[in-house]
A and B are shown apart, each in its own frame.
Chain A
Amino acid sequence: MDLEQAVAGLAPGLLRYCLGRTGDRQLAEEVAQEALASLVQRWRAHGPPDSPAAFAFAVAQRRATRALLRRRLFLPFERLSSANGNGDDPGAGAERRSELRRVLRALRRLPRRDRQALLVVVVGELPMTEAALALGSSPAAVKMRVHRARQRLRALLEEAP
């Protein structure tokens, strides 16, 4: 697999994961871009990492956490200047936006580690072993968290209006 193929293969899942983490399309794009840029840099300097997917998701996970903290710092400025909402694609339909809000709200109610595991495995489509590498956990623990998160999320989405 060459670098371009790896980036193209990882980008869709990584972007979805970042949107699930941040709840903001612009921020998700920035975080995904930074994670892939780190992978590209590492690949060009030292060759491909053992698992490019685990590498990119691990970077994205840290960057997303920092980006969310940073956003809290920006919040007062955002409130002052936000005339056009939450950064959603203006072309997207209202129904899609409301579905996105419903899903994001339900995701936020999951325990943090369960949510991370679910997003990496189900949304980012990483195999269990690579997800475990990215999350710094064991495959069995990740599997258990994903199972629990699925059940809880399903219940939350059913009870959501």
Chain B
Amino acid sequence: VTDDDARLAARLRRVLEAAPEALARVERAALGGGRRRRSPRRALLATALGAALAAVAVVAPRARWPARGGAAARVTSADGIVILTRAGGDAWLARGPAVRAARGSQVLVVHPESAAEAARDRASDDAGKTPIHPGGYR
């Protein structure tokens, strides 16, 4: 590591340094059982987005809205079940207004065929059988 490297590193760390209160907040929250701090503004936005999603799911079961890369995200309702798949690939199984649960997550693409599959899983859950994707649905 040259002197130039060291100077650059020091500059980056100085500029990106967090305030002591922020550090204390983060440590306290992490050790206190993982309770998340969310700024009031962001929480308000999350609520607004959740409400908008719920409205779309309830009012227009087959609504589309633009997503990244020109793809279309879709909320599909089949027998009152709404499936939202996230970027990670795991699916949400929600009903009508419960789509609010998806707030704050990335709603990218929703597969209509997943609806039928998840409905089958739910039926096996109800029958006490092992779900096809244990832990995959919330």
Contacts and interface: CB of A to CB of B under 8 A. Distances in A.
Contact of B4 (A12, A40, A125, A154): A154
Interface string B7-51: 011011101111100110111011101111111011011101100
Contacts of B17: 12, 16
B79 interface: no
A4 interface: yes
B39 A16 contact: no
A103 to B, nearest CB: 5
A66 interface: yes
Interface stretch (B89-97, B101-109, B125-133): B101-109
B11 to A, nearest CB: 8
A41 B104 CA distance: 21
A73 B102 CA distance: 13
Given A89-B19, A100-B16, A40 B30 contact: yes
Main secondary structure of the interface of B (DSSP, over half): helix
A98 B9 CA distance: 18
A89 B42 CA distance: 16
Contacts, number: 121
Nearest to B48: A77
A69 B15 contact: no
B63 to A, nearest CB: 15
Main secondary structure of the interface of A (DSSP, over half): helix
Contacts of A154: 4, 8
Contacts of A28: 18
Interface residues of B, number: 40
A129 interface: no
Contact of B37 (A3, A14, A30, A78): A30
B13 A36 contact: no
Contacts of A29: 18, 22, 25-26, 37
Contact of B31 (A7, A70, A73, A157): A7
B22 A25 contact: yes
B26 A15 contact: yes
B23 A37 contact: no
A84 B26 CA distance: 23
6 contacts: A7-B30, A15-B23, A15-B26, A77-B45, A103-B12, A157-B8
